[in-house]
Amino acid sequence: MLDFTIYNFSFSSFNSYVTETEWAHFMIRRFYKTLPKAMGKKFAKKESNVTATAQPSPSPLRTRGEDVLISVHLKPGAKFTQVTDYSQESVGISVSAPPVEGEANLLLIKFMVEILGLKKSQVSLETGHKARNKVVCASRVDEEFVETKLRAALG
């Protein structure tokens, strides 16, 4: 049980009265300031002779079962609907619809159906309904097919 008695505690140049809880908070903050230094010495990484394995290059495409998830950076309100960028993080797509009441999302789905040559039921918006960064799901296709179609639409 904590006792809320008052202790005389002096900071650097003046005396003040501090309760036990204030003292505990002060000591905890002081402890956490020194913690990384102590942890760094105790848990320092040892060098190993293990070589790093080759990682696959990052891609905006991921697979989930039979589905391919496409990371899209959407640019609404453009003059033309087109694929503008294919980077490691996402596929840049500009659409001519404004970002009002989901119009840009609908046009994105229609555009992806047109590019990939799939049925409308095979393409859906997974995440990012109100954001520029979205994840589009293409069902029952393989990753290579989607990548070739997107790269063909880019250039």
Choose between 88 and 26: higher pLDDT. 88
Quick one: pLDDT at residue 140?
A: 95
pLDDT tens profile 8-61? 544 444 445 666 777 677 777 666 665 555 455 555 555 545 454 545 558 899
Quick one: pLDDT at residue 112?
A: 95
Domains identified in the chain and CATH numbers: 6-41 (no CATH), 61-154 (3.30.1200.10)
Choose between 76 and 24: higher pLDDT. 76
Q: What is the pTM of this model?
A: 0.63
Q: Read out DSSP for the chain?
A: -----EEEEE-SS-EEEEEHHHHHHHHHHHHHHHHHHHHHHHTPPPP--PPPPPPPPP-SEEEETTEEEEEEEEE-S-SS-EEEEE-SS-EEEE-SS-SSTTHHHHHHHHHHHHHHT--GGGEEEEE-TTSSEEEEEETT--HHHHHHHHHHHH-
